[in-house]
Amino acid sequence: MTSDFKSIGKYISILYRQAQSYISHQLRPYNIGSGQYTFLLALYRQDGINQEELSQELLIDKATTARALLKLEEEGYVKRERDPVDKRAYRVFITKKAGKVKPVIYQTIRTWSDLLENELNEEEKAVLGTILEKMVNSAKLHLQKNWP
């Protein structure tokens, strides 16, 4: 490896940390941490999803999911109910409070994305989107094959 090697992982890691810091700061008044908003985003798309399915969709381990949902539940953003079919499982539902904060979360993410894309032209945005989607799909495929 040469000294001018640009690690994709390094830049993704930097962007991830900066995004988490920005989003955490923006959502602090709502007591939503950077580790919880992704769960709300998933629930906005699929309210009532099984807790285990939520972990699988987000590629987050069950313990981390349980902790994040507990925090969201304590803050009044979600409620968990026993699955009527599988009594061992929980389904997770957003509350009215979560619905009220939805525009704030989406605007925060939109603003962050706009900031990142500010210096890219339309062609660069399209190419970058395609590349990142391929990378995510490759990672998911690998993790699905190798994740316990």
CA distance 60 to 54: 8
Which pLDDT does position 148 carry in this prediction?
Answer: 56
Which pLDDT does position 89 carry in this prediction?
Answer: 87
38 pLDDT exceeds 80?
yes
- Residues found in the chain: 148
Fold of 8-117: Arc Repressor Mutant, subunit A (1.10.10)
CA distance 78 to 63: 17
So where are the chain's domains?
A: 8-117
Residues 6+ apart with CB under 8 A from 143: 59
At residue 1 the predicted structure's pLDDT band, cuts being 50, 70 and 90, is very low
- What mean pLDDT comes out for the span 94-121? 97
- Contact (CB, 8 A) for 89 and 69: no
- What mean pLDDT comes out for the span 83-90? 87
pTM check: above 0.85: no
